[in-house]
Amino acid sequence: MTLTVNTAAALALGDDALVLSHRLGEWAGHAPVLEEEVALANIALDLLGQARVLLSMAGDEDELAYLREERAFRNLQLVEQPNGDFAHTIARQLYFSTYQRLLYAQLASGDSEFAPLAAKAVKEVAYHQDHAEQWTLRLGDGTDESRERMSRACQALWRFTGEMFQPLDGVDVDWDGMRAAWLESVEDTLRRATLTVPEGPRTGAWTAGAGRQGLHTESFGRMLAEMQHLHRSHPGASW
């Protein structure tokens, strides 16, 4: 069976997974406890596996990951945001894994070229979401310090969450339904964590949302420079 692969959609979904995987990998050697370091690396590995499948649908995975310029990346601005403190990483995980699970669940039940990967990955992402929710509860309903930091992180990343629901050509899902389900799920977790649901717009002016068009935030260029430098300095190297 031959399926027509929508390259732009495969790139967008693949870039989300690749970029977040790299960001999570940056925690190696820096996480607060060993178990957490291993957890973040495991989540990064799951995402890297998804990225490899998705980018291979769009072309050569290595060329796409290591030789594209910043403006050719189609990932959401949310996933490229710096790790910040641990609370920022968890808020980013909460927002993104909730979105990714809803998206993959819909793709898994469809018949697009993404269905096999989505059916496989949705079960992995369920663990990512569980991990993020557990930490949100612990930090939000924790000490004054952890609560303050978690609250600040949720607020800071809120404006990056509207972009997730911009319809993508070639991805046939119910975007409005997904947005509503996402909001319900995240609000429920924040409430249980005794955190205030952030106020402020998620779409329109003063919000983020041009990653899918190739416009990225300042820190993304530095992240790419680090991610790509080895491959660019030693083309074709292997071990």
Partner 1 sequence: MVTTTALEEELRRLAGSVPDPELPVLTLDDLGVLRAVHVRDAGSVEVELTPTYTGCPAVEAMSADIERVLHEHGIREVSVRTVLSPAWSTDDISDEGRRKLREFGIAPPRGGRPSGPVALDLGPTRTAADEQEPEPVRCPSCGSADTELLSRFSSTACKALRRCLSCREPFDHFKEL
Identify how many contiguous H helices and E strands the chain contains and give both numbers: 9, 0
The answer to whether residues 197 and 191 touch, using CB atoms and an 8 Å cutoff, is yes
Nearer to partner 1, 171 or 208 (CB): 171
Q: Which stretch binds partner 1 (CB under 8 A): 30-38, 145-153, 154-162, 164-172?
A: 30-38
Interaction pattern, residues 84-123, with partner 1; x per rule: CB under 8 A: -----------------x---x---------xxx-xxxxx
Q: How far is the CB of 102 from partner 1 (least distance, A)?
A: 11
Structure tokens at 58: 């769009």
46 binds partner 1 (CB under 8 A): yes
The answer to whether residues 55 and 65 touch, using CB atoms and an 8 Å cutoff, is yes
49 binds partner 1 (CB under 8 A): yes
- DSSP secondary structure letters along 221-237: HHHHHHHHHHHHHSTT-
191 binds partner 1 (CB under 8 A): no
Q: How far is the CB of 151 from partner 1 (least distance, A)?
A: 16
Structure tokens at 4: 């027509």
The answer to whether residues 220 and 70 touch, using CB atoms and an 8 Å cutoff, is yes
The residue from 141, 166, 183, 217 that contacts partner 1 (CB under 8 A) is 141
The residue from 26, 36, 70, 172 that contacts partner 1 (CB under 8 A) is 36
Structure tokens at 66: 């290591």
- Tell me the CB-side half-sphere exposure of residue 58, using CA atoms within 13 A: 26
Please report, for residues 80, 108, 109, 140, 217, the alpha-carbon distance to residue 184 in angstroms, rounded to integers and kept in the order given: 24, 21, 21, 18, 28
Q: How far is the CB of 60 from partner 1 (least distance, A)?
A: 17
47 binds partner 1 (CB under 8 A): yes
Q: Which stretch binds partner 1 (CB under 8 A): 31-39, 57-65, 158-166, 213-221?
A: 31-39
The answer to whether residues 133 and 67 touch, using CB atoms and an 8 Å cutoff, is no
- Return residues touching partner 1 (CB under 8 A): 35-36, 38-39, 42-43, 45-50, 52-53, 101, 105, 115-117, 119-124, 126-127, 129-131, 133-134, 137-138, 141, 192
